[in-house]
Amino acid sequence: MTRRSRSIPWIVASRLLGIVIFLIVLAVARAAALTSGNALFSTLVDFFYANLGLIIFIGILFLVAECFGVLIFPLNLPAPLFNAIASIFLVSFILRLLEVINGYYGLEILPILDILEVLLYPLLFIMVLITGYYEIFSGIGQEEGKPVVEHPQSPPSPSSGPAAKSWDEIGGEIRQTIYDIVHRFREEINRR
């Protein structure tokens, strides 16, 4: 199933199912940690349990980004922003996990990570944002299964190329896009 062919209800249902499965696995791991004598396992399970709200929040941010991502242009423009924000929280979570492992094993890598963290967050945010918008804008006009038509290097002559669009035509395209979106949501609701 390609990204464009998935529906928003399918995305929400599958991601919610993933969260429920994660919660079940965490509950089983917590019960096992209470009976286990392994201190590292207990520490990691306690860490995941203590950061459960953050984990669910990150999952919801990625869910919202994916829901925006399957919409047509220009409604898919918020998707990279949500992905970038979720990536920041995800890296923050991973760094917290490394702190827990560092506390258990006494590794000395965290001072280096503290220095890199100042650069890591803005660079990550910008990279995810740029790649997301690049993906969106490179896919404009590309239908599924058809390659993007390469534009010639020299501008076409006025007699051979299409005329510039008027504001009325652009307004008509925007109205058609809004109609298509409302119609798609109506179809999704009627399918259920």
Per-residue pLDDT of the chain (192 residues; tens, 9 = 90+): 445 557 778 888 888 898 899 999 988 988 888 887 788 888 888 888 888 889 999 989 998 888 888 887 777 888 889 999 999 999 888 888 888 887 777 766 666 777 777 788 888 888 888 888 888 787 765 544 444 444 445 444 444 445 566 666 666 676 677 667 766 766 766 665
**Residue-level pLDDT at 168:** 63
In this structure, the chain runs to a length of 192
**Residue-level pLDDT at 188:** 66
**Whether residue 74 has a cis bond before it, omega within 30° of 0:** yes
**Residue-level pLDDT at 57:** 93
The pTM is what? Answer: 0.62
Listed residue (180, 80, 88, 84) closest to 136, CA to CA: 80
Q: How far is Cα 30 from Cα 43, in angstroms, rounded to an integer?
A: 10
Listed residue (5, 17, 8) closest to 64, CA to CA: 8
Q: 3-state DSSP helix/strand/coil percent for the chain, to nearest 5?
A: 75, 0, 25
On whether the CB atoms of residues 89 and 58 are closer than 8 A, the answer is: yes
**Residue-level pLDDT at 172:** 67
For residue 1, give both structure tokens: 């199933």
Provide the 3-class DSSP secondary structure of residue 151: coil
Q: Is 36 left (phi over 0), alpha (psi -120 to 50) or beta?
A: beta
Q: How far is Cα 15 from Cα 48, in angstroms, rounded to an integer?
A: 19
